Structure 1
């Protein structure tokens, strides 16, 4: 079994041992302990106080054949929230995330995802589903006087791209990378959701693992390129509109906007 810990709710805690360590439960109450453990992390508990068994013990129960299905969705999310992990998805997705977190958290991630497995250079062309390896420059706190910050080191990140989108305001490309492992300055914990702009993801080269089905990746990439083209088009229109705010122009056909650069538009000003 793993290491057991507890948190004290109110007076009259249940079976708390002296010195801050709770006694190990007997095997008969396994399922109740599993459910109660993460419920306790969520802040659940009776008015008489509650002993919350550490998650290491929960994993020990699962290794003994117990199922995470005994947990409720809000209990799963309580654990994910405690460790600053993503909360989105169904109960099955959250359970998968908990299991993966425990598989990776003890330093096994670099064994499962070695640097040598990132063999394809995808600088400038990463997409959702890619397992990527990249380097980041880490800066000190931004100085409002000098309008800059000093580089304090670099961080190597291996992670899975779980989301990528173009912002509504400036159409900037942003990736959400779920950390598998990282090393260097300010290393991040496993499955931490790191948001990084595309230009920063690609700045110092990006490598990825091959997909099992590269044809499927091509479809995902094509869909991303279409959204990228639409975002650039929207940005061009917004730039044109902002530059001429307050003026009145005849409507320009959408097809014309797509074919010609903004500078070449013929402007028809109404008096």
Structure 2
């Protein structure tokens, strides 16, 4: 957390407050985590976009403010606990909350991601035309790693994390540990479609707010997609498709939820 739907929901909420407006000040006390933010001050935000799980504000003068929310980071319109950064813009300040301090900010020349190597190797955006079935098939065919590990690595497709990888794999009927290069054509097509459907539905629902409540939209509202989870966070509950109890195991180093019957 947060994954593509949560970051995209945040982007959509922040756009009216950032695009076309100049950054007046950025206040924080941790220059190691929030790097060169002084270079953004006084510059107008031309466009706010998302790449995978990153927010990227294109600034006038050829710079970019890149934000990764980490595990617990998020923007708020109102000040609260765990504020790490205060972003001063016209109309209202924005607050970056991050209880566990894994979030990171960088100001860099546009496209210069030496400090952020994941940005250079991200795969296609799953909700864009760049994510094609043929390209997805070719990416899976190149590796014998488990398919969930491949999805989490961000190189075949960007933006998926633990929640939505589990949900897409269940929807496609694919076991998370199955070697990616052993998937047949039909399974690849189902997984391709499932990834797009799950992410689109989650964006429409404002993302997922888990029991710890750390992810909220900037206005403080909860995401709503968690009530639609079919496997994630439901160990022991019956599979809604076949009734078999959902299992939880460690796959690709992450707690993973799946149906042992539907995803055999």
Smaller-chain TM-score range? under 0.3
**More relative contact order, 1 or 2 (CA 8 Å, 6+ apart):** 2
- Larger helix fraction of residues: 1
Q: TM-score, normalised by structure 2?
A: 0.26
